[in-house]
Amino acid sequence: VSVEPFRLENGRLLLLDQAMLPTEERWRVVEDARAMAEAIAGLSVRGAPAIGIAGALGFALEASRVTESPEAALPLMRRAAATLKAARPTAVNLAHAVDRMAAAAEKDARSSGTAAWIARLWSEAQAIWDEDRRASRAMAEHGASLFATERRFLTHCHTGGLATGGGGTALGVVLELARRGRAVEVWATETRPLLQGARITAWELTRAGVATTLVADAAAPSLLARGVVEAVVVGADRIARNGDVANKIGTYPLALAAREAAIPFVVVAPTTTVDPRAATGAEIPIEERAAAEVLVFQGKRLAPEGCRAANPAFDVTPASLVSAIVTERSVLRGPFDGSTPIDFGAGPG
């Protein structure tokens, strides 16, 4: 069964602290929106769909603390929404989910008593979570249908159950093939600087009994050139209308190498990842994270004093390099020309 990033236990929300994996499987209690925003910013929970759900749950937790009338609580709830949305800037799912929660809070504020209003918001958050689980399931099935015989996949960063409400995006496709009896093997990039591939992807895959080989990020393109893998599957943090894909830094060189090796480069992401306001990737803001993530590892400085670091968290892969985009609704097959808007089906925006 797929791992999930959250669980509700006796009315408390617990979150698996992904920053501690694989050394330790530590579940943290999260009590309000600020704590959830910190968990998102500190990458205790990560993955575009998962942080959408985290935002919704954080908003519901904040609502649970309200003792006055819902209407009186609205200014506080608006601040909570802003705090949650600011926790990470690139993944659009977070803003989508929080906006949806905030709209529900505003809508029912005058007509409900406090307890009913809180219950309504928990049920909205639970709906967001459930929709994501169903989306993961649908993506896994659509994605699996793309690969009739392939066994050897390369993936980047982490896109498994812990990156979603459960099930996963790109990794969900590979795990679905394994469930169907395909003898899949996965080459996972370690994904510097925070090693989500080494720590989380390898943990989910070995836990599921899938043969897993870790490689340094920079080694992946040569594996493609040498024919070691048959396809590349990745997730997305934001997709522009033309199909340009913002995803974990290091996705773009994999797409270049896949084109060069003439193997499929497949993006798997729910339609909540599509940003209807971004016409192309140039309009997607790229989060620049702390230099210390690159300069320091396990408390030890890697580079000499006086050396700076650049730490963009994402890069943009042009639509023209993408072979297919798998959503919960459909499989969109390239080639994409990068100038025509893609019809993703009835979008969330």
Distance CA 20, CA 22 (A): 6
Which residues in the 172-201 window bind a copy of itself by CB under 8 A? 187-193, 195, 198-199
* Max Cα-Cα span within the chain: 64
The residue type of 81 is A
Q: In degrees rounded to 5, what are phi and psi of residue 243?
A: 100, 0
Name 9's bridge partners. 12
- By CB under 8 A, which span of 80-88, 222-230, 232-240, 265-273 interacts with a copy of itself? 222-230
Distance CA 184, CA 128 (A): 31
Q: In degrees rounded to 5, what are phi and psi of residue 312?
A: -65, 135
Near a copy of itself by CB under 8 A: residue from 302, 337, 340, 343: 302
Distance CA 91, CA 117 (A): 28
Nearest distance, CB of residue 242 and a copy of itself, angstroms: 16
Neighbouring residues of 329: CB distance < 8 A, sequence distance ≥ 6:
138, 271, 344, 345
Nearest distance, CB of residue 209 and a copy of itself, angstroms: 9
Return the structure tokens found at 158.
């982490």
Q: In degrees rounded to 5, what are phi and psi of residue 70?
A: -55, -40
Neighbouring residues of 132: CB distance < 8 A, sequence distance ≥ 6:
49, 52, 53, 164, 165, 166, 270, 272
Near a copy of itself by CB under 8 A: residue from 205, 233, 268, 326: 205
Near a copy of itself by CB under 8 A: residue from 206, 340, 341, 343: 206
Q: Are strands 265-268 and 231-234 parallel, antiparallel or unpaired?
A: parallel
Nearest distance, CB of residue 195 and a copy of itself, angstroms: 6
Q: Report the candidate in 172, 290, 190, 165 with the shortest Cα–Cα distance to residue 250.
A: 190
- By CB under 8 A, which span of 56-64, 82-90, 207-215, 338-346 interacts with a copy of itself? 207-215
- By CB under 8 A, which span of 34-42, 71-79, 217-225, 328-336 interacts with a copy of itself? 217-225
Nearest distance, CB of residue 320 and a copy of itself, angstroms: 11
Query: Is 237 one of the annotated active-site residues of the chain?
Result: yes
Near a copy of itself by CB under 8 A: residue from 111, 222, 339, 340: 222
Ramachandran area for residue 110 (φ above 0: left; ψ -120 to 50: alpha; else beta): alpha
Comparison of 4 and 315: residue with beta carbon closer to a copy of itself: 315
Distance of alpha carbon 291 from its chain centroid, rounded?
A: 22
Q: Does 311 bind a copy of itself (CB under 8 A)?
A: yes
Q: Does 64 bind a copy of itself (CB under 8 A)?
A: no
Near a copy of itself by CB under 8 A: residue from 52, 221, 270, 334: 221
Comparison of 108 and 293: residue with beta carbon closer to a copy of itself: 293
- Among the listed residues 17, 217, 237, 275, the single catalytic one is 237
- By CB under 8 A, which span of 44-52, 60-68, 175-183, 255-263 interacts with a copy of itself? 255-263
Nearest distance, CB of residue 249 and a copy of itself, angstroms: 5
Comparison of 30 and 154: residue with beta carbon closer to a copy of itself: 154
Distance CA 58, CA 333 (A): 36
Q: Does 3 bind a copy of itself (CB under 8 A)?
A: no
The catalytic site residues sit at 237
Residues that bind a copy of itself (CB under 8 A): 22-23, 187-193, 195, 198-199, 202-203, 205-207, 211-219, 221-223, 225, 228, 249-250, 252-253, 256-257, 260, 294-295, 297-298, 300-312, 315-316
